[in-house]
Amino acid sequence: MIGRLGKRLMPAALTTGSLLAFVAFWQVVSLYTNPDFLPSPGRVWDEAVRLFHTPVGGKDILAHVGYSLRRVLTAYLWAILLGLPLGLCMGWNRTCEKIVSPIFELLRPIPPIAWIPIAILWLGVAEGSKVFICFVGSFVILVLNSYTGMRYVDPLLIDAARSFGASRRQQFFNVAVPACLPSIFAGLQNALSMAWMCVLAAELVGAREGVGFIIIQGMDLNRPPMILVGMILIGIVGSLLAASLRWAERALCPWRRELV
C-alpha cells in the first residue's frame, strides 16, 4: 500500500527535492560570498516582487516577457511555415535536394548571432532585426531535422504504400510525413529553444523592451538581483515552452513509446 502510493508520489517528491536542494545550495554559497556578487535567493525574490510592481523602462515585467515572446513566436511561425516544407522537399525530391543543399550547407555553419550586425543594418534596431535573428536560428534547425527525418523514412513503408497503389502524393502525405513526425517534433523542440536563445542575444545588443533589456538594465544599474530575476524568467518561460511542445507531441504521436 505504501509502495503504491510511494510510486505515485515519488517523481513529484524527487522534483521538489531537487529544486529545494538547489535553492539551499545557493543560499549556503551566498552566505559566504559578497552579496554584491551573489545575492541570496531571498533578495532575488524581493527583487522579483519589486519588479512586478515597478515598471522598468515604462513597462512592467510581464509586458517585457510578452515582448520577447512575441518576437520569438513570430519568427518561429515563419520558420515553420518556410523551413518545414523546404526540409521535407529536400528529403523527398532529389532535384530539390541538389538545388537547395549546396546553398544551405554554406549558410548552415554561420551562427545566428553572426547575423546580428547585418540584420541591424538591413532592418534597423526595431522589431525586424530581432525577429530575423530568431528566424534564422530556428529555420536552420527545422530544415535540417525535417530533411534528415525524411531521409531516414524506411523505404519498405513506401514500397508497401506503392503496392497498394498509393499515388506519389499519397505516399508523401499519408506515409512519409507521418513517418518523420518524431524527427519533426525533435526539430520543433530544438528550434523553439534556439529562437528563445536568439531573442535574448538580439535584445542584449539593443532593445528598449524584452527580457534581454531587463538584464542589461540590471547590469547598467549595477543590480545583480535584477539580472538574476531576468535570468530566472528566461529559464521559466523557456521550459514552459518546451513542456507545451512535449505535451503536443504526446497528443499527436501517441504510438511512440518513451523511456521516461
Partner 1 sequence: MTEQTAKIECRDLSKAFHVPGQDQRLLVLDRVSLTVRENEFLVVLGPGQCGKTVLLNCIAGLIEPSAGQVLLDGTPVTRPGPDRAMVFQRYALMPWKTVEHNVAFGLAVRGVPMKERREIAHRYIDLVGLKGFEKAYPEQLSGGMKQRVGIARAYANAPDILLMDEPFGALDAQTRYAMEQDLRSIWEKDKRTVIFVTNNIEEAIYLGDRILVMSVLPGRVKAEYAIDIPSPRNYTDPAFLTYRKQISNATDLSL
- State the residues that interact with partner 1 by CB under 8 A: 154, 156-157, 159-166, 170, 174-175, 178-179, 181, 253-255, 257
Least spacing, CB of residue 165 vs partner 1, in Å: 5
Q: Which is nearer to partner 1, 143 or 161 (CB)?
A: 161
Give 4 or 257: the residue with its C-beta nearer to partner 1. Answer: 257
Q: Contact 80/259 with Cβ under 8 angstroms? A: no
In angstroms, the CA 186 to CA 141 distance is 10
Distance CA 134, CA 67 (A): 13
* Identity of the residue, 103 or 156, whose beta carbon is nearer to partner 1 in the bound complex: 156
Q: How far is the CB of 224 from partner 1 (least distance, A)?
A: 49
Sign of CA dihedral 207, 212, 213, 216: negative
CA–CA gap between residue 32 and residue 28 (Å, rounded): 7
The one-character DSSP state at 113 is G
Nearest to 90 by CA among 82, 81, 101: 101
Closest CA to 142 of 68, 240, 245, 238: 245
* Residue type, position 28, single letter: V
The smaller minimum CB distance to partner 1, of residues 236 and 252, is found at: 252
Tell me the closest approach of the beta carbon of residue 105 to partner 1, in angstroms. 24
106 vs 156, which CB is nearer to partner 1?
156
Q: Which is nearer to partner 1, 39 or 91 (CB)?
A: 91
Q: Least separation, in Å, of the C-beta of 59 and partner 1? A: 45
Instruction: State the greatest distance between any 2 C-alpha atoms of the chain, in Å, as a whole number.
Output: 73
Least spacing, CB of residue 184 vs partner 1, in Å:
12
**Cβ 6 to partner 1, closest distance in Å?**
28
DSSP conformation letters of 9-53 = HHHHHHHHHHHHHHHHHHHHHHHTS-TTTS--HHHHHHHHHHHHH
Cell triple for 81: 511555415
